[in-house]
Amino acid sequence: MTTPKTPSEKQNRSIQRHNTRRNELRLDIAIGLLLLGLLIIIPIFGPGRYIIGQITLFFIWAGVVTNWNLIFGVAGIYSLAQMAVFLVGGYTAALMGFYGDAPFWISAWIGAILAGIASVIIGAATLRLRGPYVMLLTLAIAVMIQKLVVTDVECFYYEGALCYPLTGGPRGLMKFGDFGFREFLGYKQAPLGKYYLGMILLTISTIFAFVIIKSPFGSAFRALRDNQLLAASRGINRVKYQILVFGMSGFFTGLMGVLYAGHFKTIGTNMLEIELLLFLLSMMVVGGLGTRWGPIMGGIIIMVSNELMKEMGEWRMIAFGVITVFFIVALREGVVGLANNAWLRWRNRSSN
């Protein structure tokens, strides 16, 4: 593309860009409404508790990956501590429920805020680090938390003859209450409460993510990711943006953690294991690092593949490993990236 030189050329170019953005927005809204519509009506067909539960799980993971993508894909900060932030949210709600009988609807906010703070701390810690060192630092933080919790076996609290460690220890936390859907909707319909709650949370989270990506925020992150020195010389304040993105992403991830705790009524540090890390990583990579729809599309693909491979034992994880390696080696732009390229090629061909 040649650089526009005359004022009218420049005006045409900016009109072009405005139109592209508007079309992109329309496309996003169309896809979003379509998906949302589908998800809203699925329960009407009575697919059963299992499927409702799995889609709820999809909401949770897609929510985590959407927010992880902001840090990892858009900002290019390869943090591996996302699940630790997730657990801060979940554990806060669980601990408050277990020790204080706090209702979930209140502890959810506290959990999310604490998760946001934790995320900001991690973000601040990674400010001066580059590349694999970021991964190492965040991994060290996550593993440290995991080791400390999982070895916590000293009895802190006794219920009759049962011993409970302060943090729940290796068994994790249970019996901390939940969202109260069972009382509200009855046993049969309770899963639907969590389903729609998850859907709403994912939708809000996704909208926030899209707004960030398409805003000057997003271009600032991309600029920082692609060429730090150039961005700095243009006056982009890296510290401010880094703290902000970690904070927001942490808040929503914490909410997802709370949702998980309320849905499964149990939470433990097994979420910090490498298998789950790869599972979520594959969603992000297959969908497309840094793309808007990547986390959701990747989430759908991986969750569906997971269902199909449920009976395959070890082959399931092997398959996920191979898929992740394949995508990161050969198809770094992911499924959404491929679709984008195909769309651009089609549009260029039709306009020529």
How far is CA 1 from each of CA 4, 13, 22, 298, 312, rounded to the nearest angstrom?
9, 11, 21, 32, 50
Residue pair 76/264 in contact (Cβ under 8 Å)? The answer is no
Residue with smaller CB distance to another protein, 124 or 204:
124
How far is CA 244 from each of CA 50, 85, 195, rounded to the nearest angstrom?
37, 15, 29
Residue with smaller CB distance to another protein, 216 or 321:
321
CB of 330 to another protein, least distance (A): 7
CB of 338 to another protein, least distance (A): 17
What residues line the site for another protein (CB under 8 A)?
Answer: 76, 78, 125, 128-137, 139-141, 143-144, 147-148, 151-152, 274-275, 277-278, 281-282, 285, 313-315, 317-318, 320-325, 328-330, 332
Residue 271 tokens read as: 């979420």
How far is CA 111 from each of CA 94, 145, 177, 324, rounded to the nearest angstrom?
9, 17, 15, 31
Residue with smaller CB distance to another protein, 76 or 103:
76
Backbone angles phi, psi at 313, to 5 degrees: 60, -130
CB of 239 to another protein, least distance (A): 14
The SS3 call for residue 155 is: strand
Residue pair 60/256 in contact (Cβ under 8 Å)? The answer is yes
Residue with smaller CB distance to another protein, 24 or 275:
275
CB of 251 to another protein, least distance (A): 23
CB of 311 to another protein, least distance (A): 14
Output b/e per residue, 34-46; b: 16+ Cβ within 10 A. ebeeebeeebeee
Half-sphere exposure of 257 (CA within 13 A, CB side): 35
Residue with smaller CB distance to another protein, 182 or 238:
238
- Cα torsion 331, 207, 126, 234 to 10°: value is 90
Question: What's the rounded Cα separation, in Å, for the pair 20 and 30?
Answer: 15
CB of 131 to another protein, least distance (A): 5
CB of 126 to another protein, least distance (A): 9
Angle between helical axes of 82-100 and 131-150 (0-180°, round to 10) = 30
Residue with smaller CB distance to another protein, 105 or 133:
133
Q: What letter represents residue 49's amino acid?
A: R
How far is CA 140 from each of CA 169, 196, 246, 308, rounded to the nearest angstrom?
19, 35, 18, 34
Question: What's the rounded Cα separation, in Å, for the pair 195 and 320?
Answer: 26
Residue with smaller CB distance to another protein, 35 or 289:
289
CB of 59 to another protein, least distance (A): 24
